[in-house]
Structure 1
Amino acid sequence: MSTVNYYKEEFGEDYRTGVCDYITDEKIESILADAKKPDPKEVKRIIDKSLKLKGITPLEAATLLQVEDEALIDEFLEAARQIKEKIYGKRLVVFAPLYFANQCINNCAYCGFRKDNELVHRKKLTQAEIAKEVEAIEREGHKRLLVLTGEAPNTDLDYLIEGIETAYSVKTEHGGEIRRINVEIAPLSREDFKKLKAAKIGTYTCFQETYNRKQYQKLHHSGPKTNFEWRLSVMDRAQDAGIDDVGIGALFGLYDYKFDTIGMLLHAEYLDQKYGVGPHTVSVPRMNPAAGTPLEEIPYPVSDEDFRKLVAVLRLAVPYTGMILSTRESAEMRNELFEHGVSQVSAGSRTTPGGYDHKGDNKEDLAQFSLHDLRPIDEVITGIAKDGYIPSFCTACYRLGRTGKDFMDLAKPGKIQEFCRPNAMLTFKEYLEDYGTEISRKYGEECLTNLMADLKADNPKLAANIADKLAAIAQGEHDLYL
């Protein structure tokens, strides 16, 4: 069945309604045009509004995106830091991406997995190889996975679900286990999303890549991914199938960053209005080169200055969401953006199938794109703790049903950190006991001591409870959470 007919089967003949009419090129361009030449008084009003944790409109976000005055930019960068800490505190969620396969039937001009790329060595992990990858990941201390794969007939949903079951089943020494698996795969039908939901996934993520329809068509040459509307409407089908934690994203550099930022915010606004649940996460990768692709240059490069700006604006606009930054960025840029809105990071990443168990396989002829932060996870963890943040491997919300609207009811007013901070402390203590090195334990224990002092001042009863659990973890207990 063609993707167009598949789309009609899902939505009926009038299959362009809903989100596809809510987010249009004309609407985004109009918002950006209306926000040109921002008035400093209006900018300050928007910043003040954002600090109330209620978000800002796409038009207000467009106003901030077009600010060039460095003093005003510094003001909303600082506002983003305050908002992030009011919602999530100082915690940074840590996860590992796991690629099951790099086979793909799409021809995306920017992707190393593209069908016509003759330089890439194709690989699909067997279930035994998936188990080996997970063992290696667990022995680095990870508890959260993001599973990815190309779009191909022999990497279908049944294969993916079997791989997820395999990953959940793997147990290693020191209580090593994967406690939650999030998924980033091609769009599915409602019925297939119901099957994916039954596989006990956490968040389903799908990038629109660019929200500009004309540029999208230029960059997607063949394959099911050429259908812009099928991709844009994917979160409706996921929500309708019961997956209430969804993640959206754009690949910045494919088109003008202001346009795609507003596209993402309209998408978030649509989901919040229709389902009462905005995106659980937004991802902000910048395009990196990939071998064997026709794009010799990034079409719309995003400078470091503009990247800081868009991250901060997203945090002001959707304060409740988790913001994900991958190892595409340098260690220095990642460290800086922790202050301006980022709340989730990958660490020790491999973008090749088999790259964890056989680290030598993490090479260009297998990879989807190039990486810049190549530090091992313990070095990343140490740096996070040294900077006063707390690495978190927490999966409690998923496992206790704090998802969808229940999560948003806690996140939007800033109450979620009542769980985030203590659970981060507990999972970080586990990491230090089981996998930490001398240096990460040194800075990690200092971090926990400081956090415990803050917790005692804020909530002595909770602090006593967490102190008992930290002591139990030191004695070998695992998987303690609130």
Structure 2
Amino acid sequence: MENHYYVDSVKLSEAALKKKHELENDPSSRTDHMEYMAGMERIKSDIMEKVLAEMESYDYLQYTAKDVMAALSHNNCTVEDFKALLSPAAEPFLEKMAEKARLETQKHFGNTVYLFTPLYIANYCENYCVYCGFNCYNDIRRMKLNMEQIEHEMRVIADSGMEEILILTGESRIQSSVEYIGEACKLARKYFRMVGIEVYPLNTDEYRYLHECGVDYVTVFQETYNSDRYEQLHLLGHKRVFPYRFESQERALMAGMRGIACSALLGLSDFRKDALASALHVYYLQRKYPQAEISLSCPRLRPIINNEEIDPLDVHEKQLCQVLCAYRIFLPFCGITVSSRESESFRNGIVKIAATKVSAGVSTGIGDHESKYTGKDSDSAEGDEQFEINDSRSFDKMYSDMSSEGLQPVLNDYLYV
């Protein structure tokens, strides 16, 4: 393989701009977002049907303070209790929710907080998702790292002390093939004890192959569980197919993955309904695959290149805190990750209440870890970032800050024999 970065600055042709305009303004030009495309595996599962039915019937305005107090008084949180805790009626009870969530977190996780970092190895994408910096119609510097550069990035990260990595790509099977991702995962096993992936959805046999390459867990964001809103936001590409994306985590578990993570991108649609659906997705998967380690993420929208209007203005920190506390009370054994999309002060606080995992030393760009980790100028080109992060603390700073908060940072808790 050639020893250089593959870099490209995408300039949209007149024909591409015409197609973009057509997709945005003519719904009839888009494919059916509920129909599988060729090559997409169908599985027999009723989880999507159950989750969507609960979400669509959820009227959070019907819940009262009495319902919230009853939910907080129960030892075991039911689905109905969880709905009450997500409702606007629960907002005045946030301190009580936080205390109950804190007790549940301490009971099941002690004072530990897990640290990991993401590594983006390519930012080519074949989807048109209007809110994402990687979308195929966004004019950014595109890059795909070869294996030598990937290993260099991994070595820089591992030298910082990190033991868990999350490998990410844009959603392009052409530029980031399953085999390419697999080879990157094999390299990751040389440097890290835990390897996760956040890539485009795959079939069961492909997840099985990546598991054999060393992958421990799979993260897939559904973005929004509202299928009508999903159709409006995902205008082109394989990601447009709502049910295939929804079933990704289950296919990964069927392939033998040890763990999976679910999430909605809060702010794309009604955040209370998306939070309900995210948690119920986990709830039903836990019951069907009790051996699996299942976790939740809780990202909010962040600004992207070429679209300064995207910002998480409709989901405020108090509302996010309410969602996270409700998650912990409803799913006491579930891991909860809070990413660098959130502020330093918010993450410092929420790990003492509900969250169990945070990222550190984060970059959402391509090929820039040496410059960001060591401060050395790099002669190599760098690919643009997917979105702007909020908390840019290094691994050392994050470790120190977590320790000073009375928490025990954990880099890895698995023994391989």
TM-score range, shorter chain: 0.7 to 0.9
Match of 2:138 in 1: 117
| 1:305 and 2:318 correspond | yes
Match of 1:210 in 2: 224
- Cα shift at 1:84: 0.5
The RMSD of aligned alpha carbons is 2.3
Report percent identity of matched pairs.
29
Match of 1:220 in 2: 234
Out of 327, 344, 347, which is 2:357 matched to? 344
Assess if the C-alpha contact under 8 Å between 2:42 and 2:244 holds in 1.
no
Deviations 1:23-69 (A, max 9, x none): 22x531323x2x534343432332232xx4x4x23321121122446
| 1:10 and 2:37 correspond | no
- Structure 2 residue matching 1:381: 3-state secondary structure: helix
Separation (CA, whole Å) in 1 of partners of 2:293 and 2:264: 13
- Cα shift at 1:195: 0.3
Separation (CA, whole Å) in 2 of partners of 1:394 and 1:314: 24
Assess if the C-alpha contact under 8 Å between 1:352 and 1:363 holds in 2.
no
Hey, which of these two has a bigger chunk of strand by percent? 2
Stretches of structure 1 that go unaligned for 5 or more consecutive residues are 170-176, 401-482
Write the letter of the residue equivalent to 2:161: G
Range with greater deviation from structure 2 (271-280 or 80-89): 271-280
Deviations 1:351-377 (A, max 9, x none): 111121233689996000001111222
- Structure 1 residue matching 2:262: 3-state secondary structure: strand
Match of 2:73 in 1: 48
Separation (CA, whole Å) in 2 of partners of 1:205 and 1:84: 22
| 1:270 and 2:320 correspond | no
Match of 2:29 in 1: none
- Cα shift at 1:197: 1.4
Match of 2:412 in 1: 394
Match of 1:135 in 2: 155
Deviations 1:5-39 (A, max 9, x none): 333x534xxx7x52232222x531323x2x53434
- Structure 2 residue matching 1:312: 3-state secondary structure: helix
Write the letter of the residue equivalent to 1:117: N
Match of 1:195 in 2: 209
Match of 1:160 in 2: 181
Assess if the C-alpha contact under 8 Å between 2:302 and 2:310 holds in 1.
no
Runs of 4+ aligned structure 1 residues displaced above 6 Å come to 360-365
Match of 2:13 in 1: none
Match of 2:57 in 1: 30
- Cα shift at 1:341: 0.6
Assess if the C-alpha contact under 8 Å between 1:149 and 1:185 holds in 2.
yes
Deviations 1:239-289 (A, max 9, x none): 221124111111111111101111012211221232235662110111101
Hey, which of these two has a bigger chunk of helix by percent? 1
Assess if the C-alpha contact under 8 Å between 1:83 and 1:315 holds in 2.
yes
| 1:367 and 2:396 correspond | no
Stretches of structure 2 that go unaligned for 5 or more consecutive residues are 1-34
Separation (CA, whole Å) in 1 of partners of 2:360 and 2:232: 33
- Work out which structure has the larger RCO, using CA pairs closer than 8 Å and 6 or more positions apart in sequence: 2
Deviations 1:316-362 (A, max 9, x none): 11111110111111101111111221100000111111121233689
Write the letter of the residue equivalent to 2:414: A
Assess if the C-alpha contact under 8 Å between 1:271 and 1:279 holds in 2.
no
Separation (CA, whole Å) in 1 of partners of 2:202 and 2:217: 14
TM-score by length of 1: 0.74
